[in-house]
Structure 1
Amino acid sequence: MAWSKEEIYQITAEELKDGLYVNLGIGMPTHVANYIPKGVNVIFQSENGMLGMGPFPYAGEEDPDLINAGKQTITAISTVAFHSG
């Protein structure tokens, strides 16, 4: 039986260890940030120059200035850093 997308996100998130820096590419990888186990602190980088990306925002809390490389609205953690180049 094939895994659902949600199962893939969950399995992937469980592989991430506390303190890692992880680059999330466009597509399915962007969903992994929503499945990180409690107590595990991972710093996510969005491919468009944001280090410290948080999970997707709740409905009504979107900030159109915070997007990932796939143009989806995201949140930022308190220690976020933006860079270009």
Structure 2
Amino acid sequence: MNKKKFKSEDIDWAEMNAIGISSEFLTANGAMDNFLAGEMTQPLNMDIILLGNELNIDATLQLIEKGNSPIVSIVCINKDEFEIE
């Protein structure tokens, strides 16, 4: 088990849910331990909402420290191009 760098209550879940990433999704996909440890998750297929557009992507997630609260880094790994209007 990974040592937790962050606590679940440190995360702004309302903001995460607004872009389509929930604690339930991370837990169901076995990614929560790595996520809370500040490590990159395994590749996850997810629907996220950016600029009002829903995108289906394969990506890794990582919590990083930014000021007093963690932020999520999303690294898209699928090679298909997509366009946001």
Q: Output the TM-score relative to the length of structure 1.
A: 0.32
Q: Output the TM-score relative to the length of structure 2.
A: 0.32
